[in-house]
Structure 1
Amino acid sequence: MRVAVWDTYITRKDGSIMHFDIIAPDIIKDETIIHTFGKDYLQSKNQDGQPLTAKECRFCHIEAATPEMEAAINRKGYFILEMENCK
């Protein structure tokens, strides 16, 4: 499976910067859908209500999905790769 990687930086409620990638099937081109995935993730981290637009989330590249990514995409439509300040 080929996936699109969307590089995302969000200002957390405490002012720190949260960095993660939203990874979704490469056939999804609609940024609104990608932003919905990100907002769903932010809600799971008690960061709902934080801005998530094209300014915070940009397409980065296409790559082959790992088995972990594929499993998450099959389950909920997307995978989040946590990088900084996501805990």
Structure 2
Amino acid sequence: MKVSVWDTYVKRENGKLMHFDILVPNKLNDEQIILNFGTTYLESKTFKTERISSKICKFCHIEQATDAIINDIKNKGFSIIEMENCD
């Protein structure tokens, strides 16, 4: 499965900058749906963040999905790769 990678940066309440990728099936290009996936992910955190928007969440590239990413997408419609300051 090929997935689109959306590079995302969100400021936390403590001023740190979170960096994570939102991965979705490559045929999904509805930006609002992708931003909603990001919001769902952020709501799972124990700390507050700024709201996700198209200014801080941008399409980056397409790549081949791993089995773990495919399972995430099958179960919730998206997958997240945490890069920096996500916990």
Which TM-score tier does this pair reach, normalised by the shorter chain? over 0.9
The structural deviation recorded for 1:15 is 1.0
What percent of counterpart residues are identical?
49
Aligned mates of 1:36, 1:18 — CA distance in 2? 17
Counterpart-to-counterpart distance in 2, 1:86 and 1:49:
11
Paired AA for residue 30 in structure 1: D
- Find the aligned partners of 1:20 and 1:33 in 2 and give their Cα distance: 17
Counterpart CA distance in 2 for 1:64 and 1:47 is 31
Report the TM-score, using the length of structure 2 for normalisation. 0.95
Extract unaligned runs of 5+ from structure 2. none
Secondary structure of the structure 1 residue equivalent to 2:82: strand
Superimposed CA distance per residue, residues 28-51 of structure 1 (whole angstroms, 9 cap, x where no aligned partner): 111000000000000001355622
CA distance in 1, matches of 2:84, 2:13: 15
What is the match of residue 11 of structure 1? 11
Query: 1:50 maps to which residue?
Result: 50
C-alpha separation in 1, matches of 2:56 and 2:47: 14
Q: Which residue of 2 aligns with 1:68?
A: 68
Query: Residues of 1 paired with 2:48 and 2:37: CA distance?
Result: 12
Cα-Cα RMSD? 1.1
